[in-house]
């Protein structure tokens, strides 16, 4: 029974993520998510007490997947922080070239719910962004980057700006520009 319940929950999360990513929080109903998952609305509410709780769970579910993707893009096998940043921004550009790309789901949901600072999905999005920044700071510290926390914060600003501008202008060249700026920001301690 637990296995079936877990697979049903995963199916709901996958269906919800697909719809939310394509259409946004406000435009997706619980009915549409249940239909996409091939379940009744009652079954969905058995697993999630509300749409808000479901959306927060979707973001938490995606969090680990996104961190794995960032880790892959950033070529952490290299000891050179500049190479790591170059491959990270290359990865962002490749991601932006995928069909139907609509930017970072975490950023989009935070913007969509900007007037609801206590919303569980906003909290999940903020937690994700903090985790990415902490991951960057750790990577920079391992590579002896001066002031790794501040460097991570600066790279987060570049990353968010890069993603937003690639979405607005449909121009992946912003990733190259962000990578070039990132290279100039990094100072390695001797």
For the chain, the domains span 1-48, 62-185
DSSP assignment of 47-101 equals H-SSHHHHHHHHHHHHHHHHHHHHHHHTTTT-S-HHHHHHHHHHHHHHHHTSTT-
Token code pair at residue 50: 């509300």
Contact by Cβ (8 Å): 45, 35: no
47-95 per-position pLDDT tens digit: 999 999 999 999 999 998 999 999 999 989 999 999 999 999 999 999 9
**What is the radius of gyration, based on Cα positions, of the chain?**
18
* pLDDT higher than 70, residue 176: yes
pLDDT in tens, 101-121: 999 999 999 999 999 999 999
Q: The pTM is what?
A: 0.89
CATH 1.10.357.10 fits 62-185, yes or no: yes
1-48 shares its CATH topology with 62-185? no
Residue 153's SS3 state is: helix
CB atoms within 10 A of CB 65: 10
Secondary structure percentages of the chain, helix, strand, coil, to 5:
75, 0, 25
Report the candidate in 19, 53, 61, 55 with the shortest Cα–Cα distance to residue 36. Answer: 19
CATH fold of 1-48, please? Answer: Arc Repressor Mutant, subunit A (1.10.10)
Non-local (6+) Cβ contacts of 13 within 8 A are 54, 57, 58, 61
């Amino acid at each position: 029974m637990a296995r079936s319940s877990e697979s049903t929950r995963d199916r709901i999360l996958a269906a919800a993520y697909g719809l939310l990513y394509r259409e946004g929080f406000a435009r997706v109903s619980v009915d549409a998510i249940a239909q996409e998952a091939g379940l009744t609305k009652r079954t969905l509410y058995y697993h999630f007490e509300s749409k808000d709780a479901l959306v927060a769970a979707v973001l938490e579910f995606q969090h680990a997947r996104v961190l794995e993707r960032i880790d892959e893009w950033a070529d952490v096998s290299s000891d050179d922080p500049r190479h790591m940043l170059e491959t990270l921004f290359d990865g962002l550009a490749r991601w932006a070239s995928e069909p139907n790309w609509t930017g970072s789901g975490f950023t989009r949901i935070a913007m969509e719910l900007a007037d609801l600072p206590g919303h569980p999905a906003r909290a999940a999005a903020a937690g994700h962004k903090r985790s990415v920044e902490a991951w960057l700071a750790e990577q920079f510290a391992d590579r002896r980057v001066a002031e790794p926390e501040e460097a991570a914060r600066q790279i987060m600003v570049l990353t968010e700006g890069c993603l937003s501008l690639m979405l607005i202008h449909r121009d992946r060249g912003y990733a190259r520009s962000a990578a070039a700026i990132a290279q100039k920001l990094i100072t390695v301690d001797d």
